[in-house]
Amino acid sequence: MRTNLQHLDKIKVAAVSYLNTKPLLYGVKRSPALLSQMELIEDFPSKIGKMLVDNEVDLGLIPVAYIPQLKDWKIVSNYCIGSVGPVETVCLFSEVPVEQIETVILDYQSFSSINLCKVIFAHFWKKKVTYQKATPGYIDQIKGTTAGVIIGDRVFEQKYGLHPQKYIYDLAEVWTSFTGLPFMMAAWIANKPLPAAFIHDFDLANKVGLDNLAAVSKENPYGYFDLETYYREKISYQVTEDKMKALDLFLNLMKQTETETEIQDTSN
Ligand SMILES: C=C(O[C@@H]1C=C(C(=O)O)C=C[C@H]1O)C(=O)O
């Protein structure tokens, strides 16, 4: 347990391993001063969120849907993984239109987008479906009236690969069309007080890649989508007042959705 940092402890930082996070880590990985104070772990979002909740790390770019599970939490950076309208890489894939979907498989790598999907079904599309937890390889099970949420780089591969499903709903776009707000999927969240100087330098380092998106894209060759377009036009990296408003609304709707699910369970 890492309740309080000791003077000589390295700060454990966990970040999303997807392409969308490369701009934020570009400067961090080029800063010997920061690297000497921290240990960087990269993994998929739900895993790093769990690590912050379990206090295995001190700071993480974690799915915001984990916030209710954190005793102590603070958003410590001006940069995040967000969207203003369509984001490309948070999608519901289906062979049938939404009205006919009966079951939704929820990406095990996600925590914000799977909850966003539940919120959208419950509050915006107002449709009851059965949810299934995905296991690796679940993408092959998206067939007939069983749809599936996919996030991250695998969305590009599914969308622009050989066998995309007929219906692809960009859930960030759906959120914005119903709320008029942007969305924030993941933010840099600390679960304990961290040295102010470190946080200051870490935040500045996050901006370096955002100021050099052409170089970041060049460093990460990718065949399915133009990364510079993804970074400039799809992902929105700034924490803004509207994204904080969206976070508030999302956490509220998520709580209501959980309560509704509980009520359904007791009545069964
Ligand atoms: C836009 C994205 O946002 C992500 C979605 C997350 C989630 O659903 O929990 C968490 C982190 C982000 O990487 C994406 O991964 O494509």
What pLDDT, on the 0 to 100 scale, is given for residue 86? 98
Q: Which of 112, 147, 181 is the last residue of a domain?
A: 181
**212 in a structural domain:** yes
Give 165-215 pLDDT, tens digit per residue.
999 999 999 999 999 999 999 999 999 999 999 999 999 999 999 999 999
Residues 154 and 97 in one domain: yes
**Residue labelled with tokens 């996919």:** 150
Distance of CA 89 to CAs 36, 86, 147, 152, Å? Answer: 33, 9, 16, 5
Residues 75 and 101 in one domain: no
Tell which one of 112, 116, 153, 239 to mutate to probe ligand 1, the residue whose CB is within 8 A of the most ligand atoms. Answer: 112
Conformational region of residue 126, where left means phi above 0, alpha means psi within -120 to 50, and beta covers everything else: left
Question: What residues pair up with 74 in beta bridges, in sequence order?
Answer: 190
pTM (2 d.p.): 0.94
CA 231 to CA 234: how far, in whole Å?
6
Residues 105 and 163 in one domain: yes
Nearest ligand 1 atom, CA 16: 13
- Kindly give the parts of the chain with pLDDT less than 70: 1-4, 6-8, 259-268
Q: Which of 181, 207, 224 is the last residue of a domain?
A: 181
Whole-number Å distance, alpha carbon 264 to ligand 1 midpoint, is 28
**248 in a structural domain:** no
**Strand residue runs (E) in 32-102:** 38-43, 59-63, 74-83, 90-94
Nearest ligand 1 atom, CA 172: 1
The ipTM (two decimal places) reads: 0.96
Whole-number Å distance, alpha carbon 185 to ligand 1 midpoint, is 5
What pLDDT, on the 0 to 100 scale, is given for residue 177? 98
**Strand residue runs (E) in 114-234:** 130-133, 146-151, 167-170, 183-190
What pLDDT, on the 0 to 100 scale, is given for residue 152? 98
Domain that holds residue 22: 11-82+182-239
What pLDDT, on the 0 to 100 scale, is given for residue 169? 98
What pLDDT, on the 0 to 100 scale, is given for residue 268? 37
Whole-number Å distance, alpha carbon 259 to ligand 1 midpoint, is 24
CATH of the domain at 161: 3.40.190.10
